[in-house]
């Protein structure tokens, strides 16, 4: 297997792990968000109140992010025999503080070790024990011990360093991270790049690094906003159906669904994708520069009431939306004029 093919395979397995994780994050993240919204900041330190219990349930779910990524990456690689060892070794990674990077590593190691052990010759008399005892036992022991004594130590140090860096970021560093996460969220609208940013932001939220989670969540609704504004600014560049799609995309964006932008991206990727990436990066960068965060898992527009500075947060959203909209319309207008000029020249040649 060449490196390029292996890289694509790993990306697919990682996407699978994140896809299985998303329902967990949605349920646990929303429970945590509701607890903070209705119970205030004191819910973080108590289970004596109703909202404190709701927060505890949500936080418990978020604590399962790393094992779930690990388990389902292993499952994607090696099918059912890799699932249990993937979960257990993911719990080990979580206990060490290795974060979602540790979960990715244990999932990959578990999956490929299980595949290797499947090929192990064994007596037909104990063949039935191979998948339910031998493979899970060997895999869990080998990967778990390797993680604890060897692999996990540098990963944990790196994760702790990254968390401290995120928590201490300000100015240019914060702006760069906010812009980068925004661009990644917009680039493929639910694809592998988006999922990497989503996993990173979610893991940051679970560890209390709200700058990264805010930037990631902010980016969800900007692409639909860009295209909605674009259809309003220059209706001549869009058909009636596209203008209707702009309204639909905006409604989807309000409730945290980026995919309403996909019809525009499919129809004109060279104009739309760079524009929504730039617009979302601008929003994320401006918001991060001013240090605006929120401690919820709510996306772009739904998070407005819970941000540390709602005015700057909204201004960031609007600036990014307008920048992206102007950019896509300029590109579309240039392409339209070029097409018209080409048609005219062809018409003159045919005379």
Nearest 5°: the CA angle 293, 33, 54 is 145
**Segment 266-324, tens digit of pLDDT:** 888 889 999 999 999 999 999 999 999 998 888 899 899 889 999 999 999 999 999 99
Tokens 């349930």 — which residue?
57
- Written as one string, the DSSP assignment of 60-86 is HHHTTHHHHHHHHHHHHHH-GGGHHHH
Report the alpha-carbon distance of residue 122 to residue 133 in Å, rounded.
13
pLDDT at 30: 84
Q: What is the pLDDT of residues 143-189, one digit of tens each?
A: 999 999 999 889 888 877 777 776 666 667 888 889 999 999 998 77
* Reported confidence tier of residue 39, pLDDT bands at 50, 70, 90: confident
Neighbouring residues of 318: CB distance < 8 A, sequence distance ≥ 6: none
More confident residue, 125 or 332: 332
Residues 6 or more apart whose CB falls under 8 angstroms from that of 180 comprise: 281, 284
Angle CA(338)–CA(226)–CA(248) in degrees, nearest 5? 105
pTM of the model: 0.75
CA 289, CA 48: separation in Å to the nearest integer? 37
Residue 120, pLDDT score? 82
Q: Identify the pLDDT of residue 109.
A: 94
């Amino acid at each position: 297997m060449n490196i390029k093919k292996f890289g694509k395979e790993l990306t697919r397995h990682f996407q699978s792990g994140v896809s299985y994780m998303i329902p967990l994050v949605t349920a646990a993240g929303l429970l945590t968000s509701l607890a903070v919204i209705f119970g205030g900041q004191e819910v973080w330190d108590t289970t004596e109140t109703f909202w404190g219990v709701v927060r505890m349930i949500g936080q418990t779910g978020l604590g399962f992010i790393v094992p779930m990524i690990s388990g389902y990456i292993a499952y994607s690689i090696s099918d059912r025999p890799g699932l249990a060892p993937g979960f257990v070794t993911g719990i080990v990674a979580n206990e060490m503080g290795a974060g979602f990077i540790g979960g990715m590593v244990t999932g990959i190691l578990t999956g490929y070790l299980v595949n290797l052990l499947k090929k192990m010759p064994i007596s037909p008399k104990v063949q039935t024990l191979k998948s339910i005892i031998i493979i899970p036992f060997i895999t869990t022991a080998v990967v778990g011990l390797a993680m604890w004594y060897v692999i996990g130590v540098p990963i944990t140090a790196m994760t702790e360093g990254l968390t401290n860096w995120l928590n201490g970021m300000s100015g240019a560093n914060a702006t760069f991270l906010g812009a980068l996460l925004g661009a990644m969220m917009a680039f493929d609208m639910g694809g592998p790049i988006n999922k990497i940013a989503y996993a990173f932001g979610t893991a940051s939220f679970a560890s209390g690094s709200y700058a990264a989670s805010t930037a990631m969540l902010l980016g969800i609704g900007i692409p639909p906003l860009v295209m909605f504004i674009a259809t309003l600014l220059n209706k001549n560049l869009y058909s009636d159906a596209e203008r209707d799609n702009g309204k639909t995309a905006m409604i989807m964006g309000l409730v945290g669904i980026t995919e309403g932008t996909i019809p525009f991206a499919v129809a004109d990727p060279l104009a739309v994708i760079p524009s929504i990436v730039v617009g979302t990066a601008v929003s994320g960068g401006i918001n991060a520069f001013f240090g605006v965060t929120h401690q919820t898992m709510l996306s772009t527009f739904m998070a407005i009431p819970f941000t540390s500075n709602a005015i700057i947060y909204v201004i960031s959203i609007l600036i990014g939306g307008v920048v992206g909209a102007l950019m896509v319309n300029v590109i579309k207008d240039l392409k339209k004029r070029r097409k018209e000029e080409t048609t005219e020249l062809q018409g003159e040649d045919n005379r």
